[in-house]
């Protein structure tokens, strides 16, 4: 028989917790990060009705015409799901066919100018200004990004290079920014135990996530602290009073 302790005054509130998300079409939940803030905001609209029984305009009642909610969260890590949320795109494999020996079209390069080869993992055979082959000290190659800097520049600059194939097995990823409206799925917030809090469970059956405000790519110690917002939609398979979300206070107790 389970024995439960009396709820504290902080029932339905937590200091921090863990977020889980099951994207539409997937069978399981993914840990998307720890959150130190979770704020619920009602999103409601009303039609106002006024009484004619008074000398001045007097509100008689309001009829609800819209019922919804949003959730604001502060996330502390950039997991795979969070990256997709903040860039509003789906993560997929970065693939590339092998490039045989290729020479770029001649271009004029300013002093210190950079040429993009448009491929990754390159090996540069030579860099020429006209017919003159430059020594390797006259240019710099970032093989990972395919960028070649020619220190003194020149006219009719060409680069001869190859590039290796990039396959699924290499595990390289990319995201097309702002290619979707947001990530949508079943969101669970699970409160983490602390001395003064009761464990907490929030189920938002249909939540669509998007980043709030700016997405920092370069920053300091708080680079990974991001603000994201979820718009909550009703799940009509749930009881009417539970269709947007539920909040459960999970009290300590003995196993049944």
Contact of 166 with 120, CB cutoff 8 Å: yes
Output the pTM of the full model: 0.65
* pLDDT of amino acid 112: 95
Reported as a single tens digit per residue, the pLDDT across 4-63 is 444 455 555 556 788 898 988 889 998 888 887 778 888 777 788 888 888 888 888 888
* pLDDT of amino acid 2: 45
Name the nearest CA neighbour of 204 among 8, 34, 60, 39: 39
Tokens coding 234: 């009703």
- Give me the phi and psi of 136, to 5 degrees please: -65, -20
Query: 209 Cβ partners below 8 Å, 6+ apart?
Result: 21, 85, 182, 183, 184, 187, 228, 229, 230
Neighbours of 252 (CB within 10 A): 11
* pLDDT of amino acid 214: 63
Name the nearest CA neighbour of 90 among 146, 24, 28: 24
Contact of 139 with 148, CB cutoff 8 Å: yes
Pairwise CA distance, residues 146 & 161, whole Å: 10
Reported as a single tens digit per residue, the pLDDT across 61-77 is 888 777 788 888 887 77
Q: Is 253 left (phi over 0), alpha (psi -120 to 50) or beta?
A: beta
* pLDDT of amino acid 3: 45
Contact of 101 with 162, CB cutoff 8 Å: yes
| Ranges under pLDDT 70 in the chain | 1-15, 192-199, 213-224, 250-256
* pLDDT of amino acid 247: 85
* pLDDT of amino acid 52: 82
Residue with tokens 């905001």: 41
């Amino acid at each position: 028989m389970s024995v439960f302790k009396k709820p504290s005054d902080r029932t339905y509130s937590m200091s921090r917790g863990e977020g889980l998300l099951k994207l539409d079409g997937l069978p399981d939940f993914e840990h998307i990060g720890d959150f130190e803030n979770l704020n619920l905001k009602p999103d409601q609209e009303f039609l106002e009705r006024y009484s004619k029984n008074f000398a001045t305009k007097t509100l008689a009642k309001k009829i609800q015409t819209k019922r919804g909610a949003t959730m604001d969260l502060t996330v502390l890590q950039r997991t795979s799901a969070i990256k997709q949320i903040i860039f509003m795109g789906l993560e997929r494999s970065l693939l590339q066919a092998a490039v045989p020996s290729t020479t770029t079209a001649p271009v004029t390069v300013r002093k210190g100018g950079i040429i993009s080869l448009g491929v990754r993992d390159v090996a540069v055979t030579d860099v020429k200004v006209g017919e003159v082959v430059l020594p390797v000290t006259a240019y710099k190659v970032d093989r990972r990004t395919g960028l070649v800097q020619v220190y003194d520049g020149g006219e009719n600059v060409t680069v001869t290079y190859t590039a290796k194939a990039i396959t699924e097995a290499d595990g390289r990823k990319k995201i097309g920014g702002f290619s979707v409206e947001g990530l949508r799925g079943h969101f669970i917030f699970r409160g983490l135990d602390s001395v003064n809090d009761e464990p907490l469970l929030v189920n938002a059956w249909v939540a669509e996530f998007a980043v709030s405000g700016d997405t920092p790519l370069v920053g300091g110690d708080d680079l990974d602290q991001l603000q994201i917002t979820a718009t909550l939609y009703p799940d009509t398979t749930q009881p009417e009073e539970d269709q947007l979300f539920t909040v459960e206070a999970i009290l300590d107790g003995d196993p049944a």
